[in-house]
Amino acid sequence: MSYEHIEPPESGSKITLADEESGELDVPTDPIIPIIHGDGIGKDVGPAAQDVLTAAAEATGRDVNWMEVYAGETAREKYDENLPDETVEAIEEHRVAIKGPLTTPVGAGFRSLNVALRQTLDLYANVRPTYYLDGVPSPMKAPEEMDMVTFRENTEDVYAGIEWEAGTEEVEQVRDFVEDEMGFDDVMHDGPIGIGIKPISEKGSKRLVREAIDYAIENDRDKVTLVHKGNIMKFTEGQFGDWGMEVADEEYPDDEVFAAPDSLWEEQDEVDIPEDAVMVEERLADAMLQWMQLRTDEFDVLAMPNLNGDYLSDAAGAQIGGLGIAPGANFGFGRCLAEPVHGSAPKRAGQDKANPTALILSGRLMFEYLGWDDTGQLIRDAVEKTIDEGTVTYDLARQREDAEEVSTTEYAETVIDNIEKLS
Of the candidate ranges 42-56, 103-117, 218-232, 280-294, the one whose mean pLDDT is the lowest: 103-117
Q: Please, which pLDDT band fits residue 113 given cuts at 50, 70 and 90?
A: confident
CB-based contacts of 113-118 (< 8 A; 24+ apart in sequence)? 113/71, 113/72, 113/82, 113/83, 114/339, 115/159, 116/83, 117/71, 117/83, 117/88, 117/91, 117/330, 117/337, 118/154, 118/155, 118/159, 118/330, 118/337
Residue 56 in this model has a pLDDT that exceeds 80: yes
d(CA 278, CA 213): 8
Domains in the chain: boundaries: 1-131+321-423, 139-153+201-319, 162-197
d(CA 362, CA 15): 19
103 is annotated as contributing to ligand binding: yes
Q: Please, which pLDDT band fits residue 207 given cuts at 50, 70 and 90?
A: very high
Known active-site residue 286: yes
DSSP reduced 3-state for 243: helix
Cα distances from 245 to residues 233, 282, 340, in angstroms, run 17, 8, 30
d(CA 329, CA 369): 10
φ/ψ of 180, rounded to 5, equals -85, -40
Identify which has the larger pLDDT, 61 or 188: 61
How large a percentage of the chain has pLDDT more than 90?
85
d(CA 78, CA 84): 9
φ/ψ of 318, rounded to 5, equals -65, -35
Known active-site residue 229: yes
Element (H, E) at 45: helix 42-59
398 is annotated as contributing to ligand binding: yes
Q: Give per-residue pLDDT as tens, 386-422.
A: 999 999 999 999 999 999 999 999 999 999 999 999 9
Question: Average model confidence (pLDDT) for the chain?
Answer: 93
Residue 355 in this model has a pLDDT that exceeds 60: yes
d(CA 162, CA 316): 28
Write down the pLDDT at residue 414.
Answer: 98
Residue 12 in this model has a pLDDT that exceeds 70: yes
- Nearest one of 42, 29, 36, 54 to 382, comparing CA atoms: 54
Which of 44, 157, 300, 310 does the annotation list as catalytic?
310
* CATH level 2 (architecture), domain 1-131+321-423: 3-Layer(aba) Sandwich (3.40)
Question: For every residue of 115-173, which 3-state class applies, written as one string?
Answer: HHHHHHCCCCEEEEEEECCCCCCCCCCCHHHCEEEEEEECCCHHHHCEEECCCCHHHHH
CB within 8 A of 377, min separation 6: which ones? none
Known active-site residue 310: yes
d(CA 372, CA 311): 30
CB within 8 A of 311, min separation 6: which ones? none
How confident is the model over 111-123, as a mean pLDDT? 87
Q: Give per-residue pLDDT as tens, 69-111.
A: 999 999 999 999 999 999 999 999 999 999 999 987 655 555 6
Which of 70, 124, 131, 159 does the annotation list as catalytic?
159
d(CA 220, CA 100): 30
φ/ψ of 131, rounded to 5, equals -145, 155
Which of 176, 255, 286, 388 does the annotation list as catalytic?
286
d(CA 40, CA 354): 10
152 is annotated as contributing to ligand binding: yes
Q: Which homologous superfamily does the CATH classification assign to the domain defined by 139-153+201-319?
A: Isopropylmalate Dehydrogenase (3.40.718.10)
How confident is the model over 14-36, as a mean pLDDT? 95
d(CA 28, CA 12): 9
Which of 99, 229, 353, 385 does the annotation list as catalytic?
229
Query: What is the DSSP annotation of 259-289?
Result: E--TTTTTSGGG--PPTTPEEEEEEEHHHHH
Q: Quick count: other Cβ atoms within 10 Å of Cβ 207?
A: 20
118 is annotated as contributing to ligand binding: yes
How confident is the model over 273-282, as a mean pLDDT? 90
138 is annotated as contributing to ligand binding: no
Write down the pLDDT at residue 271.
Answer: 65
Strand order in the sheet with 32-36: 65-68, 32-36, 96-99, 335-338, 329-332, 125-131, 147-153, 301-304, 223-228, 278-284, 257-259
Known active-site residue 214: no
394 is annotated as contributing to ligand binding: yes
Q: Please, which pLDDT band fits residue 211 given cuts at 50, 70 and 90?
A: very high
Q: Please give the model's pTM, rounded to 2 decimal places.
A: 0.93
φ/ψ of 374, rounded to 5, equals -65, -40
d(CA 163, CA 86): 31
Q: Give per-residue pLDDT as tens, 245-268.
A: 999 999 999 999 999 987 555 555
Q: Give per-residue pLDDT as tens, 152-185.
A: 999 999 988 899 999 999 999 999 999 888 888 7
